[in-house]
Structure 1
Amino acid sequence: MQAEIGEDDKAPRAPSRDQDRARGALLIIDMINCFDFSGAETVLPKAILAADAILGLRAAFERRGWPIIYVNDNFGEWHSERSRLVERALSHPNPVLEKLRPRDKDFFVIKPQFSGFYATNLPVLLSKLGVDRLVLTGIATDICVLFTAADAHMRDYRLWIPRNAVGAETAEHDQWALSIMEKSMAAETAPTDDLNAETWFERRLG
């Protein structure tokens, strides 16, 4: 389960040494997806809306030169890697991936379980990149986003989970998870309509 760093001339390369922690990273969680799981029919419309918000965040991170990291489940395919996951998700019409297809310059981490930190090289990658704050986006709010947020909080990362950039099967699950992350993990949960990415960057620098 490794991030694909430097697989070609355009792929991103992490520094060989840990950098000073003064940057943010955008995590895009499980959005490379076939949406063929139970409950997908209710999650998909929310994922499409979340993808629009994520595109805005991705542009803001690019302007600042901060890393964009896709963190994606292997969906039980233990021999899978980035291109195979994308190919599988594009094997039928996929409005989410059509918006959010990863680029060569984006980092990519494949996870075997709910949390992006569990049994992956994400902790090492974030240290190499000098990251001290994370914006978590993707699906599902009450599962993989929540577990990743909990692990990030225990590692002292400052968190923003924009409520319009995540999605769960029901509105109740969304609100329950966002409330936990806000109250127990000191996460900002304002939507991108109410909180500008640049404002959040500056606020968290202080």
Structure 2
Amino acid sequence: MAATALIVIDMLNSYEHEDAELLLPSVRKVLPRLTSLISRARQSGTEVIYVNDNFGLWRSHHDELLDTVLSGPRADLVEPVRPDGNSLFVVKARHSIFYETPLEYLLSQHGIDTIVLCGQVTEQCVLYSALDAHIRHIRVTVVEDACAHIHADLAKAALRMMEGNMQARIASSTTEYLFGNDARAAGC
């Protein structure tokens, strides 16, 4: 049976990088919708998978990365979206969630053929991940208001590219039936 997963991209972040000041206003704006989206996925029984940069810390693992960002100056942006005990976690080193990660194998093992993308950055990691999913014949939904951007104009262009060139569904966090089990969670 085919399934859907919510992929949370790069939200475990210390925001101590070059573009952080440009990114922060957008992160603050999308954070409530992103938090609600993660909660909705969990309530519907949808697999929540965090795919996150390792910040060049090649000896680190999930708990160390989380501890690092939660003890940093922007912990308030991480705490609301932190993984729970049921979340899956994949470390990446480049923009795409698929590039040299085990994500494709994980998805196939869980029967997942549709991914819902949220997180950051729309015009970078979300865009490249949507392209890589498309070439792997994985259906993609991008939750526009749950993705942060650095440059609004590039984010809008990236969303148009994902929709037009990659057949990605562009949705809002309030769109019904984002997850295959939404109807069950709603008591339908």
Give the % identical residues: 36
Q: How far apart, CA to CA, are the structure 2 residues paired with 1:45 and 1:87?
A: 23
Per-residue deviation, 1:45: 2.1
The number of equivalent residue pairs is 181
Instruction: Verify: 1:102 aligned to 2:83, yes or no.
Output: yes
Q: How far apart, CA to CA, are the structure 2 residues paired with 1:149 and 1:199?
A: 16
Q: How far apart, CA to CA, are the structure 2 residues paired with 1:158 and 1:66?
A: 15
Q: How far apart, CA to CA, are the structure 1 residues paired with 2:148 and 2:123?
A: 8
Q: Is the 8 A contact 1:48 1:95 kept in 2?
A: no
Query: Given the alignment, which residue of 32, 38, 43 partners 2:23?
Result: 43
- Aligned match of 1:8: none
Which has a greater percent of strand? 2
Residue deviations 1:97-152, cap 9 Å, x none? 11111111100000011111111110110011110111001111111111111111
Greater shift in the superposed pair: 182-191 or 52-61: 52-61
* TM-score normalised according to structure 2 size: 0.90
Residue deviations 1:58-84, cap 9 Å, x none? 222223212000000011111111111
Query: Given the alignment, which residue of 113, 118, 136 partners 2:99?
Result: 118
- Aligned match of 1:187: 168
SS in 2 for 1:97: helix
Per-residue deviation, 1:41: 1.2
Instruction: Verify: 1:128 aligned to 2:112, yes or no.
Output: no
* Paired letter, 2:77: V
Instruction: Verify: 1:69 aligned to 2:69, yes or no.
Output: no
- Aligned match of 1:92: 72
Structure 2: tracts of 5 or more residues without a match: 182-188
* Paired letter, 1:62: R
Q: Is the 8 A contact 1:153 1:185 kept in 2?
A: yes
Q: Is the 8 A contact 1:141 1:174 kept in 2?
A: yes
- Aligned match of 1:141: 122
SS in 2 for 1:34: coil
Residue deviations 1:40-64, cap 9 Å, x none? 1121121123222222222222232
Assess, with a 3 A threshold, how the Cα gap between structure 1 residues 79 and 171 changes in structure 2: closer, same or farther: same
- The list of structure 1 runs, each at least 4 consecutive aligned residues, that deviate by more than 3 angstroms after superposition, is 199-202
Instruction: Verify: 1:162 aligned to 2:160, yes or no.
Output: no
Per-residue deviation, 1:200: 6.2
- Aligned match of 2:155: 174
Q: How far apart, CA to CA, are the structure 2 residues paired with 1:81 and 1:115?
A: 19
